[in-house]
Structure 1
Amino acid sequence: MRSVLVTGPGTTEVREVPRPECGDDDVLIAVKACGICGSDAMYTAVGGIPPRQGATPLGHEPAGEVVAVGRNVTGIGEGDHVVVNPMAAIDGIIGSGGAQGALSDLIVIREARAGVHLRVIPPHVPWEVAALNEPMAVARHAVNRTSPKPGDTAVVFGAGPIGLGAVISLKLAGAAHVVAVDLVPNRLEKALAVGADAVINSAEEDVAARLAELHGTARAGLVSGAKPGTDIYLDAAGAPAVLETALASAKHGATLGIVAVHKRPASVDFGRLLTTELTIVLSMGYPSEIFEVTDDLIANWEKYALIVSDTVPFGRVREALTLAATPGAAEKVVVTF
């Protein structure tokens, strides 16, 4: 079968590799769609992930159709449409250093358990939308880490796929008013379409001043002064300016969540922040959220479909990887089979 491998720094190849065998406890899946994540570009740039450096299978956002089921597996049948938990694979995280990558014709889920390793979805959900399940779980975990309460106000920096997913999850958690901040008008339009209450173009507007207009003002800390009344700041952009804006704007008792990958160290003046009693939380992966998002994805697939900007057939997968890695060229690229 075909599989995309990182074979050196900045180099990917589509290679013929052995077809995986389906044992008595396993499920074999024909991949129908796989999203491309920003981490795929990072893995490619450095030449893989040790200890598999130089031969790293790519792809960790799969959706597919079950083509074989081991005799000991229950709750899964041939022909079922499924989404997958890449982090639960016993042979390593799929597409992130494990033995398999989902930018392949087939993947096998060893010792498969329904609800743990994969979940059945109805066939009316388009494959490219189903492939959003994994990144939407990343967004859901980021939101969960900020502990939103009904009535909270929030701002999400970065209206890419994770930021858009965070907007959706914040509204589902009961946030009264959610603002999306970005530089790209098309992304801001999508943020409104998926449920943001307002948007801010940070290239044209003063973010703190606009937040104060939208969320009112509140005590800055134990000293005098006023800041925007925003309860939750979520960084899904990874730009130094985002941290600077959030830290300078945060009111007393606010929460700052960081899900974006910052590629350079950030300097934080904790002395200046001390009186704000700001809570800072970091987010990675989806310890329990991988199938928490699935019901909403199924019920509102048309809304989630707005997140996908490009679908590219597997025959042009290297073009898809280049497109996804080019800043400003695309928002969410999904490879279809």
Structure 2
Amino acid sequence: MKSVIVTGPDTVEWVETDTPTVGPRDVLLKVKACGICGSDAMYTHVGGIPPRQGATPLGHEPAAEVVQLGPDAVGVELGDHVVIDTMAFTDGFLGSGGAQGALSEYVLVIDNEPGRQLRVVPKDIPWEVAALNEPMAVAHHAVNRSGASEGDRAVVFGAGPVGLGAAISLKSKGVAHVVVVDIQPTRLEVALAVGADAVINSAEEDVIARLIELHGEAADGIGHRGRAGSDVYIDAAGAPVVVQTILAAAKHRAVLTIPAVHKRPVEVDFGAILATEIDIRTSMGYPTEIFEVTDAIIANADKYARIISHRFPFDQTLDALELARTPGAADKVVVVFD
């Protein structure tokens, strides 16, 4: 079968590999769609992920069809459409340093455990939408980490896939008002389409002044005014200026959750924020959320489909990877197999 593999720094190639052999409790999947993640560009640039440096199969955002079952495999049936917990494979994280990647024709679930690695989805969900399950779980975990709840006012910085997913998740939790901040008008249009209550173009507007208009004015813990009334902030952008803006805006005991990957250190004046008693939380992966978000995708497939900006056929995967790694060229790229 054909697989896309990192073979060295900044080098990704098609490689012919053996189609997996199915064991007694194994499930063979034919990959039908796989999203491209920003981390794929990082893995490529550094030449893989230890311990598989130099030979790393890519692809960790798949949707697939069950095409073969071992004689003792249970929990799924032939022909089922499934989404996948790529962190639950016994041979390492799928597409993130493990032995397999989902930018391949087939993936083998070794010793499948019902409800652990796979979740069946309705067959009318488009493959490319089902393939959003993994990044949307990342977004949903960030929202869970934030503690956002009914009636809160929230702000999401970054209208990429995780930011948009966070906006949808926040609204699903009954958050009263969600603002999305970005510098690209087209992204902000999508944010409104998926349910954001308001958007701010930070290249053209004073973000803090606009948040005070939308969420009211508040104070820090000792009464200093000029703070926004927002309860929850999510940094899905990963730019130092975002953190600095949030810290300047945050009211007493606001929560900042950071799922974004920051590529360089961020300078923070802790003296200036001491009186805010802000709660800063990081968020990584999806400890419990991988299949929690699936129901939302099933119920709102059309809304989630708006997140996808580009679709490529499998034989153009290398082009898809190149587009996805080009800053500002694409938002969410998904490879769709025949």
Whether TM-score is above 0.5 comes out as yes
Give 1:75 deviation, angstroms.
2.1
- 2:332 is matched with which residue? 332
Return the letter of the residue paired with 1:187. Answer: R
SS in 2 for 1:87: coil
Task: Please report the TM-score for the alignment, with normalisation by the length of structure 2.
Answer: 0.99
Pick which of 132-141 and 107-116 moved more: 107-116
SS in 2 for 1:88: coil
Is the contact between residue 157 and residue 180 of structure 1 (CA under 8 Å) also seen in structure 2? Answer: yes
Moved over 3 A (4+): none
Q: Find the aligned partners of 1:316 and 1:247 in 2 and give their Cα distance.
A: 43
Q: Find the aligned partners of 1:336 and 1:244 in 2 and give their Cα distance.
A: 39
Return the letter of the residue paired with 1:93. Answer: F
Q: Find the aligned partners of 1:114 and 1:103 in 2 and give their Cα distance.
A: 24
SS in 2 for 1:86: coil
Q: Find the aligned partners of 2:79 and 2:59 in 1 and give their Cα distance.
A: 22
Percent of matched pairs sharing the same residue: 65
Q: Find the aligned partners of 2:225 and 2:306 in 1 and give their Cα distance.
A: 41
Give 1:176 deviation, angstroms.
0.2
Return the letter of the residue paired with 1:74. Answer: V
Q: Find the aligned partners of 2:257 and 2:224 in 1 and give their Cα distance.
A: 25
- 2:160 is matched with which residue? 160
SS in 2 for 1:163: helix
Is the contact between residue 26 and residue 109 of structure 1 (CA under 8 Å) also seen in structure 2? Answer: yes
2:291 maps to 1:291: yes
Is the contact between residue 32 and residue 62 of structure 2 (CA under 8 Å) also seen in structure 1? Answer: yes
| Aligned pairs (5 A) from 1:46-65 | 46-65=46-65
Q: Find the aligned partners of 2:40 and 2:117 in 1 and give their Cα distance.
A: 22
Q: Find the aligned partners of 1:203 and 1:106 in 2 and give their Cα distance.
A: 44
SS in 2 for 1:155: strand
Is the contact between residue 115 and residue 291 of structure 1 (CA under 8 Å) also seen in structure 2? Answer: no
Is the contact between residue 91 and residue 98 of structure 2 (CA under 8 Å) also seen in structure 1? Answer: yes
| Aligned pairs (5 A) from 1:1-337 | 1-337=1-337
Give 1:268 deviation, angstroms.
1.1
Is the contact between residue 217 and residue 225 of structure 2 (CA under 8 Å) also seen in structure 1? Answer: no
User: How many residue pairs get matched?
Assistant: 337
Q: Deviations for 1:16-36, whole angstroms, at most 9, x for unmatched residues?
A: 001111111111000000000
Q: Deviations for 1:175-218, whole angstroms, at most 9, x for unmatched residues?
A: 10000000001100000000000000000000000000000011
Is the contact between residue 133 and residue 297 of structure 1 (CA under 8 Å) also seen in structure 2? Answer: yes
SS in 1 for 2:87: helix
Return the letter of the residue paired with 1:235. Answer: D
Q: Find the aligned partners of 2:99 and 2:172 in 1 and give their Cα distance.
A: 36
Q: Find the aligned partners of 2:36 and 2:114 in 1 and give their Cα distance.
A: 25
Pick which of 251-260 and 114-123 moved more: 114-123
Give 1:223 deviation, angstroms.
4.1
Q: Find the aligned partners of 1:85 and 1:311 in 2 and give their Cα distance.
A: 22
Return the letter of the residue paired with 2:153. Answer: T
Return the letter of the residue paired with 1:206. Answer: D
Q: Find the aligned partners of 2:36 and 2:149 in 1 and give their Cα distance.
A: 32
Q: Deviations for 1:251-287, whole angstroms, at most 9, x for unmatched residues?
A: 0010000000000011111121111110000000000
SS in 1 for 2:180: strand
Give 1:291 deviation, angstroms.
0.2
Q: Find the aligned partners of 1:281 and 1:210 in 2 and give their Cα distance.
A: 24
Give 1:299 deviation, angstroms.
1.2
Return the letter of the residue paired with 1:307. Answer: I
Is the contact between residue 163 and residue 236 of structure 1 (CA under 8 Å) also seen in structure 2? Answer: yes
Give 1:174 deviation, angstroms.
1.1
Give 1:149 deviation, angstroms.
1.7
Give 1:113 deviation, angstroms.
2.0
Q: Find the aligned partners of 1:112 and 1:172 in 2 and give their Cα distance.
A: 31
Is the contact between residue 25 and residue 74 of structure 2 (CA under 8 Å) also seen in structure 1? Answer: no
